[in-house]
Structure 1
Amino acid sequence: MGLKAKLRLSNPWTQNFISGIILSLTVGIYLAILGLGAGGAQPSSAHVTTTAYATLYAVFTVTGFFGGSVMNTVGPRWTMALGASGYSVFVGGLWYFDISGHPWFALLGGVILGISAGLLWTVAGYIQFAYAEEKYKGSYIAWQLFLLSVGCAVGALVVFCITKDVTTLSGVPTSVYITFIVIMASAVLVSLVCILPSAKIVREDGTRLAHFTASDFRTEIQGCLVLLKDIRVMLLIVPMAATEMSSALIPTLTAHAFNLRTRSLSALINWTIQIPSTLLFGLVLDNKKYARRVRGAMGLSISCVIVLVGWGLALGFQIKYDIKRDITSPGWDWTSKPYIEYIFVVLFTGIAYAIDQMMVMWVMSALSNEPKLLARYGGFFKGMLSAGLAIAFGQEAGGVSYL
């Protein structure tokens, strides 16, 4: 494929790339803050921020389930723009809470982002599922997550550069919040200018996507309920819910045990390791030397090993150093011996975060090639993923022991 043809705005690959850019500008920056623990605020603020996250993901569970219905009704451009709009509001709420101590805006921001994030991820999932030819589905997923990881790493790098000399248990400065809000707001403009209606998407061979027309909302709601009758989708609910649950515990452990600059370094390592992980895992899932079933078994085996090692290391670290929420923070720095061991927790849980959800999305994308159904799949996947996160952050907000 020539460079000019690939960069054509109506090219499916270009639309997938733009979708990844939008994710990097919104979700990437959001996750960079999440990776710091306590929403970037002081560790003592963790209860309010985890409550905001729990609220966010509880709402996201519902909007994710029905996100495909919205997209099938109003189209990908407006759905993506609406989805991108909530991220700057949420970070603004965290900022307001950090400087004022009043939690209402942070909690309201969690509700607003819970609504919009379901829409954003539905479009992203729809584009990677429906726009890719069968042989490229793994690489489409990989490119989106690669760009998302780049956004996370850049956001974490910004925080690290600003906080590299801060050795106290403090929160990030105001300049970080302002920078991130501006970046996130720019994603709305990118969505409106660059995301095209599905009818305008043309593949390299001149073919268009399967015929796509807007549906009425009642039809779409019925279509979502039909998903609950598909045993293949039901069997994937637990894998969907489990893929990002480490997002609640690992950053919280980091915020509890380490000072600000070490939290920043951990977030940077976590997101940077995901950049090569997504691309390499995409090569496994799209390796033409092997049949699809063999590639799936290979990918699942790799994912299982990485996940088990990551959680095993996290468990061992907590037991060895007796990390408990009711014990005063040791306030370790990156020069402390325990951090050398903790780096491996960050590395393996970071890799698992990236490839585990890739595995689930790859399986889901193989279930159908029908655009409207794939839009519902995308929304349902993120809805169930958010249900898992709502449980995980709900445990945090409820004060369940780390162990």
Structure 2
Amino acid sequence: MRNQQDLPKMTKDVKETPDKPDAMVGDIEIFQDVPKGYRVAGFTLPAYRAPITQCIIIAFVHLLVVGMFNVLSALGGGGQVDPTTSNNANTILYSSFCAFALVSGSVCNFLGPKVTLATGGIGYSLLSASYWSYNNNSNQAFVYFGGAMCGVAAAFLWTAEGSMIMSFPLEKDKGKYVGIFYGLSFFGTVIGAIIPTVENWDVTTAGSVNDSTYIALFILMLMGSVVACFVSNPSKVIRDDGSRVVVPRQTTFVQELKNVVLAVKREPWIILFFPYSFAGLWYIPYQSNDFNSYFFNLRTRAFASLWFDFGQFVMAVTLGLLLDFSKLGGRRRRAFFGWGLLFFLINAVFIGGIFPARASHRGVAPEHLLDVNDEKAAGYITLYTFYGAVDGAWQTFAWWIMGALSNDPLVLSIYSAFYKVFGAMGAAIVFSLDVRGISYQAMFGSYWGLLAGSMVFVLVLIFKRVEDTLEVGGIPQSNSMEMKEEAA
């Protein structure tokens, strides 16, 4: 592992904070006045500025914004009978997501994660509003505009969330924090999925979801931006050991863009993470449009999406806890363990997915749309649940691996941007393939192949770069792009 003096200079100093530290260890400020919790009914609740509290607030933002978007996506075709408009909107969405994610890390560092995070719900809510409008006037242009705005908002929201969730906790707690973040988010998605299930329970045909579903999701997404205003400034967050999150000094926007290039120079092995990122969102059109929408009637689509979200929730929490379980060994060993568990899960689930994939044919409707009361539906819903489990594990493992490579929020915001850039690129491509009518078997096979193949690259990354710790004496010492100004 290289020392700090070997690293390229990213910014010249860290942002000064008004509080005076009680001690300095290297370049890290240590505070003895760690925020105390609050005693309520015999229980001690964590302080507002404690990392765990901030993690929960960020998770609620994600729950209300991205969680409700996932509810909409899991219905298939944006809740419409014909997925063409939804596929085109999603192609636009992920194309703009990809383009703006290229600079989202720089924007996040320049504006600060709190402001960046608060923009998310506005763009996402426009997409839900556009489907609400489409239900009444079939205005495709508004849906495409909503998709574009959602993509811009998503680029900034995901980067802000990623940099905070990965930099706030101590090293030993990173898996737990990622698990809490995704666990709460996916649990909220499960609750959110009840809305379309209840609202459309009487619809036993293919059908489109009703207006009240879109209105409810629209309001909840807007509330996410309101909750984001309660996120504390990262410079005020003090960890349990007294260390404070290092916040990069605001520099010129041009310098922030240069940091993206320097991030790759600093950690060239991060390139091995790009195929994994590219494959991360490839699942959406196949699972939502080509499986859920193809086999189920409307109420069963909504009911199955609830179980998909439940699978995400369970696996995100489970893997997050396992990756921090010290009895499994050091962090390096746990990384290999997590890789093995995820690789096994992917292949086991997709082996089960071969049978419905062979039974589906684009342009040829099934003889009978499955209803929740059908005996055959149970097996298909179970498979859809495990598809959700794969996604929950995939996302959790991604953030844990990125967090294992650095403790620096500047670096992590750029890594998070990389993750979303390539994920959005893959999603834009696969939605365009779905629009072009690629066979369901090809969609299924490409998804399985990308997941399994990209895992090989991650295995090499783990072998080369994941260490048991990035710390010396509990204080981050390397993998940081913060450099103090050199003496004249």
1:143 pairs, out of 177, 180, 194, with: 180
| Bigger shift: residues 232-241 or 94-103 | 94-103
**Is contact 2:56-2:180 (8 Å) kept?**
yes
Match of 2:225 in 1: 188
Larger radius of gyration: 2
Residue in structure 2 matched with residue 374 of structure 1 by the alignment? 412
Whether contact under 8 Å (1:76, 1:196) holds in the other structure is: no
Instruction: Tell me, yes or no, if the aligned pair for 2:278 and 2:426 is still in contact at 8 Å.
Output: yes
Structure with greater proportional helix content: 1
Match of 1:263 among 301, 306, 320: 301
Q: Where does residue 50 of structure 1 map in the other structure?
A: 87
* Deviation for aligned residue 1:6: 5.3
Q: If the length of structure 2 is used for normalisation, what is the TM-score?
A: 0.79
Residue type matched to 2:253 in 1? F
d(CA) in 2 for partners of 1:187, 1:309: 36
d(CA) in 2 for partners of 1:101, 1:28? 25
Larger deviation, residues 365-374 vs 16-25:
365-374
Residue 421 of structure 2 corresponds to residue 393 of structure 1: no
Deviates more, 1:240-249 or 1:102-111: 240-249
CA distance in 2, matches of 1:379, 1:6: 33
| Identical aligned residues as a percent | 27
Per-residue deviation, 1:103: 0.5
User: How far apart are residue 92 of structure 1 and its match?
Assistant: 0.7
Q: Which amino acid aligns with 2:143?
A: A
Deviation at 1:387, TM superposition (A): 1.6
What secondary structure does 1:215 align onto? coil
Contact 1:79 1:119 in 2 (8 A): yes
Q: 2:230 aligned with 1:212, yes or no?
A: no
1:60 aligns with 2:61: no
Structure ranking higher on relative contact order (CA contacts 8 Å, 6+ apart): 1
**Distance of aligned partners of 1:179 and 1:262 in 2 relative to their CA distance in 1, 3 Å threshold:** same
The residue aligned with 1:9 is 48
Q: Is the 8 A contact 2:124 2:221 kept in 1?
A: yes
Over 6 Å off, 4+ runs: none
SS in 2 for 1:366: helix
Distance 1:324 1:12 in 2: 49
Q: CA deviation at 1:306?
A: 1.2
* CA–CA separation in structure 1 for the residues paired with 2:375 and 2:261: 52
* CA-to-aligned-CA distance 1:25-73 (integer Å, 9 cap, x gap): 000001011001010122x2x0110111111111111222211101110
Residue 275 of structure 1 aligns to a residue whose secondary structure is helix
Q: TM-score scaled to structure 1, two decimals?
A: 0.95
**1:347-386 superposed matches below 5 A:** 347-386=385-424
Say if 2:187 and 2:309, in contact at 8 Å, map to a contact too.
Answer: yes
Distance 1:217 1:331 in 2: 53
C-alpha distance after superposition, 1:212-248 (max 9, x if no partner): 3222210111111234444321101111121232122
Answer yes or no: is 1:198 the counterpart of 2:237.
Answer: no
- Quote the Cα distance in structure 2 between the aligned partners of 1:188 and 1:283: 29
Partner Cα separation in structure 1 for residue 348 and residue 100 of structure 2: 33
In the alignment, which residue of structure 2 is the partner of 1:38?
Answer: 77
Partner Cα separation in structure 2 for residue 2 and residue 286 of structure 1: 25
For the aligned residues, what is the CA RMSD?
A: 1.6
Aligned-partner Cα distance in 2 for 1:327–1:228: 47
Q: Distance in 2 between matches of 1:211 and 1:127?
A: 10
Give the 3-state SS of the residue equivalent to 2:376 in structure 1.
Answer: helix
Q: Which amino acid aligns with 1:225?
A: V
Alignment match, 1:179: 216
Offset at 1:96? 1.4
State the distance in 1 between where 2:369 and 2:383 align: 18
- Asked whether 1:108 is paired with 2:145, we answer yes
Change (3 A) 1:3 1:197: closer
**200-209 or 82-91: bigger deviation:** 200-209
